[in-house]
């Protein structure tokens, strides 16, 4: 598990490396180039660019990416 916190936007992206099969779908279809491939697995490279569009989570066929928009989590819990 690799976890990184955003500096500009409060987004947390978690990638489950044990489930990631390295299909590159998330990396190629991310509109903000947040992710990249390292040793055959997806990794978060530029978290500050993430706009929390959720497309990587939506299209990951292996349930390996979880994107949490922390600002929305805070709102919903209020």
Partner 1 sequence: MFNYDQYLRLNKFPLIWCSGCGDGIVLKSMLRAIHKLGINKDEMCMVSGIGCSSRLTGYVDFNTLHTTHGRALTFATGIKMANPKLHVVVVTGDGDATAIGGNHYIHAARRNIDITVILFNNFIYGMTGGQVSPTTPKGKRASTAPYGNFENAFNISGLAQAAGASYVARATVYNAVQLEKYIQRAIEKKGFSLVEVLSPCPTAYGRRNREGTPVDMILHQKENSIPVSKAESMTPEELEGKIITGVLVDTERPECRTEYQRLIDHLKEEK
Handedness of CA 44, 57, 12, 51 (dihedral sign): positive
When the beta carbons of 45 and 55 are compared against partner 1, the nearer one is 55
φ, ψ of residue 67 to 5 degrees: the values are -110, 125
**24 counts as binding partner 1 under rule CB under 8 A:** yes
Does position 31 interact with partner 1 (CB under 8 A)? The reply is no
Q: In whole angstroms, what separates CA 76 from the centre of its chain?
A: 21
What's the min distance (Å) between Cβ of 5 and partner 1?
15
Question: Of 33, 48, 63, 74, which lies in the binding site for partner 1, with binding defined by CB under 8 A?
Answer: 63
């Amino acid at each position: 598990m690799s976890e990184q916190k955003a500096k500009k936007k409060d987004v947390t992206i978690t990638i489950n490396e044990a489930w990631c099969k390295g299909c590159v779908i998330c990396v190629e279809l991310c509109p903000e180039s947040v992710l990249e491939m390292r040793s055959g697995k997806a990794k978060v490279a530029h978290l500050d660019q993430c706009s929390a569009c959720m497309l990587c989570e939506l299209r990951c066929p292996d349930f390996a990416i979880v994107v949490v928009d922390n600002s929305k989590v805070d709102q919903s819990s209020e």
